[in-house]
Amino acid sequence: MARNPNAGKPRNTPAQMQSLRDEAIRSIGEMEEAILATRNQLRVMEAVMRRGRKMLESGRGASEVATVNHAAEARAATSEIIRRVQGARHRAQQAQFKLAAAEGATMAEIARGWGVSRQLVSRMVKEPMPRRRKG
């Protein structure tokens, strides 16, 4: 006889399920925005690198190139956007894991679908959703 992995577990109310679904949709949208911002920042960084290479090819000094080209600001902005993507990815993945679990999927099924460990899925389903950054 097949074992029902959800037997004995409390069922979520329709309102709870809708809340989980809304959070998954919201977090995926946040991830899309972060990806777009990353693409734009990478274009900026590409232009900075291209200018820097051309300046070096013309004989300018590396210190001068970094200062004139605002390399520090470009690097900091790129690092920040990558942190934003990582946070958004975590929230989107966690929200989808929580929704899938509430819909009745096992930790193993979710893990196989995402190509991650069952332990990671279990941990993420149990932990509270991280707070979103303002702005």
Q: What is the pLDDT of residues 40-91, one digit of tens each?
A: 999 999 999 999 999 999 999 999 999 988 989 999 999 999 999 999 999 9
- Output the pLDDT for position 11: 83
Name the pTM for this structure: 0.78
Could you tell me the end-to-end alpha-carbon distance of the chain, in angstroms, rounded to an integer? 52
Tell me how far apart the alpha carbons of residues 90 and 104 are, in angstroms, rounded to a whole number: 21
Indicate the DSSP class of residue 116.
S
**How does pLDDT run across 22-42, given as a tens digit for each residue?**
999 999 999 999 999 999 999
- Output the pLDDT for position 35: 96
Residue 34 and residue 84 in contact, taking contact as beta carbons nearer than 8 Å: yes
User: Average pLDDT for residues 84-107, to the nearest whole number?
Assistant: 96
